[in-house]
Every structure is written in C-alpha cells, then in structure tokens.
Structure 1
Amino acid sequence: MGKEPPKPPPIPGYINFLIGGSSGMMAICVVQPFDLVKTRMQLQGKAAKKETLYSVGKEIIRCEGYRGFYTGLSAALFRQATYTTARLGSFNVLTDYYTPSYGVPTFGAKLMLGVLAGAIGATIGNPAEVALIRMTADGRLPKARRRNYKHIFNALGRIASEEGVLALWRGVAATVTRAMVVNGAQLGTYTQAREMLLPSLGDGMFLHFCSSMISGLVTTWASLPVDIVKTRVQNSTSGEGQLKVFANVIRNEGLLALWSGFLPTFGKLGPHTVFTFIFMEQLIALYRKLNPPPPPKK
C-alpha cells in the first residue's frame, strides 16, 4: 500500500482571519441590494404585510434610483471587515484547536464552535451593524427625519458624538443573540452538509454550492425572528430592549411577523452564504497552492 499524502498543516490564525473577512466583503458586493430591501421591509411593521419584494424594490428605484440599492455599502463592507473577519476567522481557528485534542468535531461541536465564533464576531462588529441599519433605513424616512450619513466613518462619528459612544453598541445583546443563532446554524450546517455530501459529490464548486444553499435555508429560518428584533432595536433611538421589542412585534403584528421578509432575507443570506463559502474555499485553496506542505522526511 502506498503512503497517504501528508495532511496540510493548519493555516496560520491571521491568514484565517484575512480569508474570512475577504470572503465576506466580496460576497456582500453581490447581495447588498437584497440586504437593503430586507431591512426596509423589517422596519415597516404592519405595513410590511402590504409590501412585496417587488413593490419595495420599485419604490427604491422611483425615489433613489438604481444606486439606491447600494445605499450603505461602505457600512456593509466595514461590517464584513469586522464581524465576518472575526466570526469566520474565529471558527477556523477554534476548529484547528479543537481537532488535534478531540478529533473531527461532531455536528453538536460544530454548532457550539459556530455559536462561540458568532458571539465574538458580533461584539466586535456591532458599531458597523448599527451604522449599516441606520444607513439602509434612511431612505424610507421623511426627508426632514433622515440622518444623511455620508459614509461609514461619518456615521460612526456622528452616532458617537450625538448619542454617546455607547450608542455604537446599542442592541449588542440582540446582535450577539442573532449572531449565535446565525453562526451556529450557518457554520454548523455548512460543515456538516459538506462532510455528508463529499462522498457522493466529490470536492469542488458544486459541493460548496449545495452545502451553502442548505446552510442558507436553515440559517434564514432559524435567524429571521432574532434578526427582525435586532434591526428594530438598533434603528430605535429610545433604547428599547430586545425582549420588549419581541413582545411588541407579537402583540401588534402577530407571530408570523417574526418571519416577515423571508424571501428577501433568503435572497440575501442564501447567495451570501454561497458566495462567502465559495470565495473562502477558493482563497484557502490558493493559499495552500502558494504554500505547499514540506516534502516528507525520508
């Protein structure tokens, strides 16, 4: 029997973080319009029942032009550079630490690693999250009430000066809650689906696509209720907590309102998951190609 090829060494921690952030930033450039429409629908409350993906998109084009779909892109990119860098980098680093001691993570372990990585990323990325929600929501407000942030750094500076530095972490509990659900579902189901489909599909782009779509669908269903609560908490200036917002949504709009905007959310989260993991897999492959393992010692 021939010797098995040497296993590639773990990727250095800082490279994991760079790959994670770069993957998210490239993916958000593709799906930003869906994220903007999703946010607008989530903030409409009862009016959202009368709105559709088409009608909200048509209103954006009428009032803001096609460029309106990329309102807040600088905040979205900054969010990916902070939140996604931290969450994907942490997940890969945590997995690399876990595997030598405990073996290949079980599905339950993958969920827990994803939850922990999500909490780390959400805490770091919350200021960008607040700015992104504010910037993407601005177009639906009357002109007199619009904040008119020029870009991400203008938004962060004004929020800190006008509302206090702690306002940048408004809704951090809701952000962490959402991130724990999203990352537990997204990273856990992606790695599990990839592992299960690998024998039949083989490693390659189609495997990454199928695993990502499964992950995106599960993540959308699991995370949308906490995403709606987080969005409303962070857009508020009254400082309402997530439990109060959650109760108000159910009381005033009904239980199903927690899944308002499912299609635009999946329209964003599904492709974003696909592109993020495809970009990540390709960047990892590129790194390994440029840094091959040393030849085995004789």
Structure 2
Amino acid sequence: MSSENKPKNIPAYANFLIGGGAGVLARCVVHPADLIKTRMQLGPKNQSFTNTVRQIVARDGVVGLYAGISAALFRQGTYTTARFGFFNIMFDYYKGAYGMPGFGAKLVLGLISGGLSAIIGNPGEVVLVRMTADGHLPPGKRRDYKNVFNALSRMIKEEGLATLWRGTSSTVVRAMIVNAAQLGTYAQAREMLLPTLGEGLLLQFCASMISGVVTSVASLPIDIVKTRVQNATEGASQFKVFFDIIKYEGPLALWNGFLPCLIKVAPHTILTFMFFEQLVVLYRMIEGGPIK
C-alpha cells in the first residue's frame, strides 16, 4: 500500500466516540449476565446460577434481567469511552515517536488507560452495582432509584459527592488487571492458534474466548470485593472485606458467580472488538478514506 493510500490515524475525538459506542452496543447484549453475577455475589453462598435467574424472573419478570441498564450504559459511556480513547491516543503517539509498540509497551499502555478510565468511570460503576443489587434487598431496604441520573443526584444529596468514588482503588486495580489480562492473553492465544486456524473470525473468536476465561479468573476476586464495598451503606475497607470473605465464607467464595462472569466477559470481549472494528470501518467510509 502506498503512503497516500494508508489510512490516517483516527482523530482523538473519534477514538473516544467509537470506543464508547462499541461498549454500549456490547453491554446491551451481556447486561443480564452481569446482573445475575452481582446478585450471586451478594446472595447466599451456595446460590446457583439457575436459582438466581428464577428468582429475578419470578419477582420482576423477564424485564428484571435488565434492571439497572441505564447505569450500565452510563458506565460504558464514561469508562469504555475513556478506555478506548486513551489507549488509542497513546498507541498512535508511541507508534509515531518510537515505532510499533511491542508486547511490553502494549501491556503498559493497557494498564495506564485502564487505571485512568476507571477513575473517570467509577461513579457509573457505583450506581451500576447499586441498581443491579437493589432487587436482592428486602422491600423496606431497597433504594428504588428511578434511573442513573436519579441515583447520582440522590447519592450526592444523601451521602455526599465522595460516595461516587467509593471503592475507586478496587475499581482501578480491577481495570488494570482486566486490561492486562485481555491484551496479554489474547495476543498470546492468537499467536499460538494462528498456524492452525489461520486468519479470520474463528481465530478471533477462539482467542477472545481464552482471553475471557483468563480475565474472569484474574478479575473476579477483585470484582467481588469492589461490589461489596460499593454496595455498603457505610464505608468499608477493601482489605477487611477481602479477608472477611476468606475467613467467613472460604477462599472459593472469591470466585462466586464465575459462570455468569464468564458468560458476560467472553461475549463482551468478542462483541466489543467486533463492534469497534465495524464502527471504525463505518467512520472511514464516511470520511472517504481507506477502510483497512
């Protein structure tokens, strides 16, 4: 490809918009799994995936599986938008200044973008946890937020602005681990499977599935601690919550809700990147430049 036909770097604003759009579209598909995961993490120790689904549907109907969707989309509009935007801006800068980044450099870029984005997206994370967990609480203790904006305003009014950044350290650590696990595992799996599967959707699908499993195993303990810290009425130390889970529920409780977590992470990984790639193609078509 000649230099004049090579696609230009996508502008910063477009990187943010495309990343956010991909996250929103993927979230619409996987939201029920995340809701079920949250309910399992906050429920009885041995509560099964099937029983959790039955309880939600019996209480709120099928639409109950989309409880808190406004908060989920708000989170994608903040966290995922920032994550993709920061990563691609830093990636393009690094490539222009030092050449194509190697695996170690990509890993660092993922860690940095994940940490920064988690800080920006933490309010959406707190609201999402509360809204998806609300149906698990007894009627007298439910917060009954009407939507994400009602939740944000009430939390600020009733508990203070700092509540929106409750559990930020856990959120940041989890985001950095998720980004590192997804990037590193996907790259390695893709490299190992390429000679057998060749280029194409099957290779991307299999590598993404492997990445999803590893990411779920690595991130779920932090996710459980973060969920309980953010759902607490009063501030709670993440270290205390972590060791209390091990002490009173056993180490395996840190992976409670693994199945719905995997059901969410694997498809979300695949869908987010597929939507992202298609939105990039659409952007280049609109701009009239080379697609690839």
Range of TM-score over shorter length: over 0.9
CA displacement at 1:287 relative to structure 2: 2.1
Amino acid at match of 2:61: G
CA displacement at 1:188 relative to structure 2: 3.7
Counterpart position of 1:37: 36
Counterpart position of 1:15: 14
Counterpart position of 2:26: 27
CA displacement at 1:284 relative to structure 2: 1.4
Counterpart position of 1:205: 201
Counterpart position of 2:219: 223
- Is residue 209–residue 278 contact of structure 1 (8 Å, CA) maintained in 2? no
In the TM superposition, 1:160-175 aligns within 5 A as 160-175=156-171
CA displacement at 1:108 relative to structure 2: 2.1
Root-mean-square deviation (CA), in Å? Answer: 2.0
CA displacement at 1:218 relative to structure 2: 1.5
Deviates more, 1:154-163 or 1:85-94: 85-94
After superposition, the C-alpha distances for 1:81-134 in whole angstroms (9 at most, x for unaligned) are 000101111111111111223332222222211111111111001111111000
Counterpart position of 1:99: 95
Counterpart position of 1:214: 210
Do the aligned partners of residues 134 and 252 (structure 1) sit closer, same or farther apart at CA in structure 2, a change above 3 Å counting?
Answer: same
Moved over 6 A (4+): 2-5
**Structure 1 unaligned regions, length at least 5:** none
Counterpart position of 1:251: 247
CA displacement at 1:26 relative to structure 2: 0.2
CA displacement at 1:201 relative to structure 2: 4.8
Separation in 2 of the partners of 1:63 and 1:148?
15
In the TM superposition, 1:80-95 aligns within 5 A as 80-95=76-91
Counterpart position of 2:105: 109
Amino acid at match of 1:25: V
Separation in 2 of the partners of 1:187 and 1:133?
25
Counterpart position of 2:67: 71
CA displacement at 1:64 relative to structure 2: 1.0
CA displacement at 1:190 relative to structure 2: 3.3
Aligned residues: 290
Separation in 2 of the partners of 1:227 and 1:3?
47
1:148 aligns with 2:144: yes
Amino acid at match of 1:237: T
Counterpart position of 1:279: 275
Separation in 2 of the partners of 1:97 and 1:4?
18
1:158 aligns with 2:150: no
Amino acid at match of 1:7: K
**Structure 2 unaligned regions, length at least 5:** none
Which one of 125, 128, 135 corresponds to residue 129 of structure 1?
125
